[in-house]
Amino acid sequence: MLLRKKTVSGRRRAFSLILQILIFVAIYLGVRSWMMSGMVSGPPPSFIATDLQGQRVSLADYRGKPVLLYFWASWCHICKFEHGAIDAVSRRWPVLSVAMQSGDDKAVTAYMHDNGLRWRTIVDETGELAKRFGVRGTPAHFILDSQGNVRYREMGYTTAWGLRLRLWLAK
């Protein structure tokens, strides 16, 4: 009788744990879906900006090849954790990054220098460009295909392999 109670109790705990995990996953996916719901897809908003080197840049400059458009912020802890992945991707694929609400050109340049970051970067001091792309948080990733359309979009941490795969598929 005692053994049977332990088995039933163990099953209940296992069922409860599985149920809690399923609820957590459902909430996580729901929040993630909501966060990504406003992110643009298809043709992206056009813009002309100046990068940290003083060069004019627009998405039209990348037509003919896939590109990663990466929104990040100096205050974002997940972004800091992801720097290595973005750096690895940038060795083989074009990356255009947008430093969102991270200060002016001087502050972003200093941050990038201090962290050894070498991506082509636009400063979005007010977050206006991010807003045009529907970015509600960082990091945010847009993979544009060779025709310049948003093929994949992602909010939150992602791996270098995941980004490389999406860039390869966008060829």
Instruction: Report the share of the chain in percent with pLDDT over 90.
Output: 75
Between residues 29 and 12, which one has the greater pLDDT? 12
* pLDDT value of residue 105: 97
- Maximum alpha-carbon separation in the chain: 79
Rounded distance, CA 163 to CA 8, Å?
45
Rounded distance, CA 77 to CA 86, Å?
14
What's the pLDDT tens digit per position in 9-24?
Answer: 778 888 888 888 888 8
Parse the chain into domains and list their residue ranges: 48-169
pTM over the 0.85 mark: no
Which DSSP string do the residues of 67-81 spell out, in sequence order? Answer: EEEEEE-TT-HHHHH
Task: Name the fold adopted by 48-169.
Answer: Glutaredoxin (3.40.30)
Among 14-23, 25-34, 99-108, 162-171, the minimum mean pLDDT is found in 25-34
Q: What phi and psi, each to the nearest 5 degrees, are found at residue 98?
A: -125, 115
What's the pLDDT tens digit per position in 44-93?
Answer: 999 999 999 999 999 999 999 999 999 999 999 999 999 999 999 999 99
